[in-house]
A and B are shown apart, each in its own frame.
Chain A
Amino acid sequence: MRRHRDGVIAAAILTPMFLFWLVVSGFPTLFGFFLGFFDWVGLNDKPNFIWLDNFAHFFRDPVYTHALWRSIWLGGLVTAVTLAAGFGAALLMNLPLFGKGVYRSIWYIPAVTSTVATTQVFNIFLDTNNGVINNILKALGKEPIVWQYSASWGIFWIVVYSVWKGVGGAALIWLAGLQSVDPVLYEAADIDGAGRWGRLRYVTLPGLKPIATYIVITSLIGAIQIYEQVLFITNGGPYGQTEVLVFRIYRDGFWDFNLGMAGASSLIMGIIVIVVTVIYYSWSTQSDRRTTIPVKPLKGGR
């Protein structure tokens, strides 16, 4: 009787939410995956079912393979730098410093700012004619650099921006991990005569393993999908040499109206993310999973 009544209440509450979710998220995502099997260029054109041709094209065309490869190593690079810097900061934030709350806030501030707004400030720094960095170079008697002509500088600034924005959040999650290590273990280590380094090596690092797997995986999943900073800082240039896969999807869909290729690329990106998640699940032990959950890092608001 109780169970039946519960079921009715659950259905009454969840059904409308699910219907709205289907309209704005569930259905478009599935629909996007299906697009990959069609040749469909231009919104008024008739879609044409072509099996796996788009996927074959994806792996033959260097525009796509390079974008995919760039997504992977750029994502790896951003994750590595952000997490390493965040970990260092968290170790220091974990000291009983005077005013440590202020430091935590300062470091997290970039994360609450709008990508659109702050990338524009970066663009002012990088402007060719009146950019702050070039003005400094000129004042020092050096040649100004046209950042926009160089793929390496483009990537460099995308990484700098991503780390700037992500490091505070990473530090806070690391810090939560550091504080979740059982203090009794530190006392035991002290009794055994471990120094600061010994405590870090034998207590902190093993205790951090679950949170470390969690943060590496979620950061990586987020970082291989970076595209907003690419869009606003380099816009894919020069000559598409800083395009990443999600940026390519946007480009296909909204500039070239190649909906079939956009769908195929989406499906490939989706599969990569799912594979990474599954690897995380089979890799992490039962106890890891009890302490951490693969929820998306905070972002949202669609």
Chain B
Amino acid sequence: MNEPLRIKWKKRLAPIHLLGHAVLLGFGLVLLYPLVFMVLSGFFNKTEFMQTILGVFPTPKEPTLANYKSLILGSKDAAVTTYLANSVIRTAYNTIWALLTSFLAGYVFARLKFKGKDQLFLVLLATQMIPGTLAIIPTYLEFARFPFAGGNDVFTGGTGILNTWWVYLIGGPAINIMGTFLVKQSLEKVPIELDEAAIMDGAGTMRIIFGILLPLQLPIMAFIAITTALGTWNDFVTPFFYTTSDGLQTLPAAITRISSVGASPGAVINYPMIITLSLGITLPALLIFFFFQKYIVQGLANTGIKG
């Protein structure tokens, strides 16, 4: 017992291992520092934050939980809970749709045989490469001229679906290309005999999809859920560009509006409120990450490397 343990410790104390620990831990803490700063700033009250000369680790004289509480109980200064609720609803909605569409479309491309399937899939992958940011302005125009919505006659007259919940709802059911790709890749490793045996037993398509194949794909579905959830949760583009009313804002869009980007020029930036809202975005994202990191690490490798 003694001998192997000594070898183990000798290995652990090898110079290259010590270097590894020093670098990975040292830089790792540097990477965490902005988040530590954010959490510490959250304990200040507004006036004290503005008056304190901020050091590397700012510590308030009168620490308060008010900022953290306002995320749940609401604040007088901004509709924090509304933003949070909008963020949660939007994230849940997009995640559920991403799971459903990725799995169904992945099943179609992995299992069904029809003409032009491979070409269609290649076209889908190619469209992924076109930068998404480029569609922001045309999407704005399209939403503004959405036929027969928001006071529009056919194309003009009103504001279309801008500044309505439709802006959030309409994107959900669209095909999720990355998810489709991952499901297809993973389903192709499941032997087709499984489907055939199920058909012999009299199972229909829906039963094969949801009763037999889906339960086998839970890790990949978890990965799709996490990436979609984090992507939607952190997204400021859709709410910032296509909505204006306060009741429709999500947390990232609310920050954008009071930051140097959205505030009127020369205005004093309300950093304490920004910190509160930032904590509202960051802490849940970290929680999701900690609970599901296994799937993230696995899935990240899968997107780059064919298994």
**Complex formed: what's the CA distance from A124 to B53 in Å?**
12
B131 at the interface (CB under 8 A from A): yes
- CB contact between A117 and one of B20, B104, B237, B282 (< 8 Å): that residue: B282
B293 at the interface (CB under 8 A from A): yes
CB neighbours of A125 from chain B (8 A): 34, 37
Task: From known contacts A103-B25, A270-B130, A301-B230, infer whether A112 and B261 are also in contact, taking CB-CB under 8 Å.
Answer: no
Contact present for A97 and B17 (CB under 8 Å): yes
Contact present for B24 and A89 (CB under 8 Å): yes
B215 at the interface (CB under 8 A from A): no
Using a CB-CB cutoff of 8 Å, which residues 32-52 of chain A contact chain B? 32, 35, 43
CB neighbours of A172 from chain B (8 A): 297, 300-301
Bitwise, B15-34 to A at CB < 8 A (1) or not (0) is 01101110111011101101
Contact present for A274 and B300 (CB under 8 Å): no
Contact present for A292 and B131 (CB under 8 Å): no
A142 at the interface (CB under 8 A from B): no
Closest B residue to A234 using CB positions: B260
Q: Which of the candidate stretches A23-31, A56-64, A149-157, A183-191 sits at the interface with the other chain? A: A23-31
- CB contact between A116 and one of B28, B234, B297 (< 8 Å): that residue: B234
A140 at the interface (CB under 8 A from B): no
Task: From known contacts A95-B17, A136-B56, infer whether A121 and B37 are also in contact, taking CB-CB under 8 Å.
Answer: yes
Closest B residue to A123 using CB positions: B260
CB neighbours of A254 from chain B (8 A): 137, 241
**Complex formed: what's the CA distance from A225 to B129 in Å?**
11
B119 at the interface (CB under 8 A from A): no
B288 at the interface (CB under 8 A from A): yes
A232 at the interface (CB under 8 A from B): yes
Q: Which of the candidate stretches A10-18, A76-84, A198-206 sits at the interface with the other chain? A: A10-18
Which residue, B112, B117, B230, has most C-beta atoms of chain A within 10 A? B112
Contact present for A232 and B259 (CB under 8 Å): yes
Nearest chain B CB to A204 CB, angstrom units: 15
**Complex formed: what's the CA distance from A1 to B202 in Å?**
18
CB neighbours of B131 from chain A (8 A): 225, 246, 266, 269-270, 273
Beyond contacts A130-B53, A299-B231: 20 other A-B pairs, Cβ-Cβ < 8 A, are A14-B105, A20-B172, A21-B174, A92-B23, A103-B24, A107-B28, A109-B289, A122-B34, A132-B54, A136-B55, A172-B300, A176-B301, A225-B131, A232-B259, A249-B137, A263-B138, A270-B130, A274-B130, A292-B304, A302-B171
- Using CB atoms and an 8 Å cutoff, list the residues of chain A in contact with chain B: 2-3, 6-7, 9-10, 13-14, 16-18, 20-21, 23-29, 31-32, 35, 43, 88-89, 92-93, 95-98, 100, 103-110, 112-118, 120-125, 130-132, 135-136, 164, 167-169, 172-173, 175-177, 180, 196, 211, 214-215, 218, 221, 225, 227, 231-232, 235, 246, 249-250, 253-254, 259, 262-263, 266, 269-270, 273-274, 277, 290-302
**Interchain residue pairs with CB less than 8 A apart (15):** A13-B107, A20-B171, A29-B135, A32-B138, A106-B28, A106-B31, A114-B285, A120-B271, A132-B37, A136-B56, A254-B241, A270-B134, A291-B306, A293-B306, A301-B228
